Each structure stands twice: as C-alpha cells, then as structure tokens.
Structure 1
Amino acid sequence: MLSPEELLAARSREKSIPQRSHGQKDFLPDGSEAQNEKLRLCRAEQWELLKEERVERLGSLVKGIWRPKEDLVELTSPAGKFWQTMGFTHQGKQCLLPEEAVYLLECGAVQLFYHDSLLSVLDQISVMERSFLLDDYESWAQSYRKAESQISFNVYQADGASEFKKSRPGKPYTRMCVRSFSDQVPSLGTVKSLGYQSKDVPLIFALVDNGEVAFYSFKDFELPVDVYP
C-alpha cells in the first residue's frame, strides 16, 4: 500500500517509455572501448526502467483463491478483459488454470490468496509447483505474449450422452485452435505449449482457407517403437 504522497507522485510521473538516449545499437561488435561503454550505459538504462515499480488501483485487481484440490484458481470478483482469452467456468464459478493465474499476476491484473495470505509471483509458483513445471510455464507464457496461437474454442458433444450445461459445462470433448491458411506455420514449441494448455483433452487445429476448413491433430510418438512395432 502506498501513501497519498506516493500515489500522487505515481500519477504524475511519465507514462511513456523513453527513447534510447545513446542512439541505435551497432550492428556488429568492433571491440572498441567506446562501443563497450555505450552498451554498458544502454543496459544500465534498461535496468532502471525495469526496476520502476508499477502502481495499480486496488479496486481494479481481480481477486482469486488458489484451490489445490481442484488444481485451479477460483475468482471471487468478476473477471476483467482477460476473460476473452483466458479462464473457464467450473461449477458455475469463473476459474483460471494455474499457469494463467501466474501470468496474470505477473501482469498486475489479479490478486491471489491462499489460506487468507496474499501471494507474490514467487509464492504462487512455489505453492503451485506440483501443477506445472517452470520450464513449461515459461514456454507457455512466451507463446502467449507473442500471440502465435491460442486455443480458440472448447468443443462439447451435441448428442444425448452429453451432460453439457452452461452453468456446468464439464470436460470438453476437444479443444480447437483456429488459424488462417496465410498464417505462419506454428513452431514446435508453440504446438507443445498448446498441448500443455489442453492437458488431457485432445487438441485440434482448424485451418481456414477461403471458406474451406481442414482439421489437423498432432500425436506424440517415440521413434522407432511407435513407427515400427
């Protein structure tokens, strides 16, 4: 919590990121002292920017509670704009996957609690370490920031055996990632990251080309066992 004076100072400070004050970075290293000093000053300038504290209004933060038995974060206040691309409904409540919660906490969009204690990013990773691997999370977060590909839809069966309800949709039959034929082919890291997000639900890629839709799926296999049994 900040004092009134600190809040006023935060409101009046410059919001835009300053331009490089030492010029553009050289294309190739030349080993000169002048170039090394220029790089040092640029790095120091970037670290100063990264160290600056970001101030968020308490009322604008979405609150959530970590539920380890369900392996999810239950939101106790209405979700923000991130609900368009993140989150799901579980038993009529808005929830987040563990990796989504860590990402939003890093972005300053949520407050997370566990046993009535407010969690920092490191605290959250520590209490959720059984739910995901840090390397997997970093891969997922990087692909999400780049917005290379995202899961677009959860697909549910429409037959009589389905128990789907809007208030309690249950487990999807499959998840779908929609891409245009003109988009760049997703990298292996992106495909793995999407598969990690989908967990034990099959993932399908829908490729749209001038109104025609083709569906593809990827399967993990081990060479040569799965190819030449």
Structure 2
Amino acid sequence: MEATKWVESEASSNSDVEDEESEDEELSYMSITIPSLQIRTAKVSIARWDPKLGMGEVVQKKGGMWRTTGIVRDSKVYCLMEEIMYMAERGALLLLNDDASYLHLKDIYNLVTQGLHGCSWKCFEVYRHLKALGYVVGRHGLLWTTKCKGTSSLISSANCEHHLESENLKSEGDSAILTELFSVLDISSCDALKVSFDVYLPNKQFKKSAPGDPGFMLCVAGEIPPTIVQVENLRKQSGDIPIKFAHVDHGRVSIFSYNKVELPILP
C-alpha cells in the first residue's frame, strides 16, 4: 500500500488565496498565532453561544459565507465550533456570551483547546486549511438540513437513525433534540481513526438542500499512521467515495491518500 501526498500547506504562510464563497471578499491565510480581530461591520454576523449544545445559534446572518456554513434545524441556523472559529478569525462573526457580552477571539480559542465542544484544535486546523483552499467542508454524517435531497444514502443513513431517535424527544424541547443528534458527531478525539469531515469540491452553486455526494471523506489521523486494516475498513464504509487522511504537525497540514500497489515477483 502506497501513501500518496495529495496537498499540504504551511500554517505560517502569509499568502492570500481566493475565497470561492464570496466574490467580493479576500481571504488571508491565518497563522497559528492569535490574529487581531478585524470587524467587518458591513457583513458581520452574530451568534449566541450555547454551552450545553457546544454550538452557536445564529441571531444575525450576513454575508455569503452562510451558503456553505452552518446547519439548519427547525428554521434555525446553528454553527459548529470549527465554523465559529473560522468566521471569528476572519472578523465575519461575533459570538455572544450568556450575559450578552461578546467573547474575545482568545476566549473562542480557549473553547477549542478545551476539546469539550466536539472539535479539537487539530481538527480545526484541518478545517481551516481546506476552507482556505475553497472547499466546502461539513462534519461527516451531519445533514446540512433535514430537507437534504440528492445525498448519498451512505451519508444520510448514518444520520437518519439518530435523527429519528431524536424526534422522539421533541416534548423535552429543541435543546434535547439537538444534543441527542450531535452527541454522536464528536470529532474532538483523534484516538480512534474515523471519518471527521465530508469535503465537497469548490462550487459556487452549492446548496445545502441538495449538496450531492462529497468529493472525498477525510480522517484526521493521530501521531501513528493508520494500518492497512484500518484503511481497508474505512474504504468499505465509504463505498465509492474516496477516503483521504490528514496529519497536522506544528501547524503544517498534510493530506494523504493510500493506493494499492503490487510488489514485483522476485526471482
């Protein structure tokens, strides 16, 4: 089995890349140091942090980034931890605390480093890297909206069972439903090799209601490379959708794929 390096980047790069999500915004690649928060008053969105859910409920939505960011449940838009971090670094999102005060960027970083809200720092670096390249990135198995059409049965079925179970909790309120639904989609731990993200190719026509199949599924690997058995098991689970692996080393994100090779027959 041969590992093929697909793409890699240096997190300390200062180069600018094109933002595929908005024609009138420039994307400056972030370093691992804490950047200063630049508020874009014209397109700043606001979300209210919910510590029980580990997500933000969007109360003011502005700008074109929401076309590929956030999930819709019961006519409400929620943003996950990695989405909050990415938008906050860009100055496109302000996060409200319980007391209606705004969380500083360093406070949001602390939420990520705690690893208590479904996303680790390593997973965020992978998410940020892919978003900077223009890909559409979502957590694996999590439907963008409950009205998704044209989605692979492999992805939708993984989510459908948990969604049906959560529907029985409606009498307990929306929070109970969402907690049940997203508790199985924790990507904060890289100890067990599993698919973390569904990654879609850059597409300005992307729709949450009809995302189609992802271009590939991505596993965020730990310090130890995956074994042949682990790779084959993931391939069986992914069906026809390619599997790729991400590794993060001091802010440097590398993404690999594994191909089968045949060794020559020795005389």
Task: Give the shorter-chain TM-score range.
Answer: 0.3 to 0.5
More strand by share: 2
Q: Normalising by structure 2, report the TM-score.
A: 0.41
Larger radius of gyration between Structure 1 and Structure 2: 1
More helix by share: 1
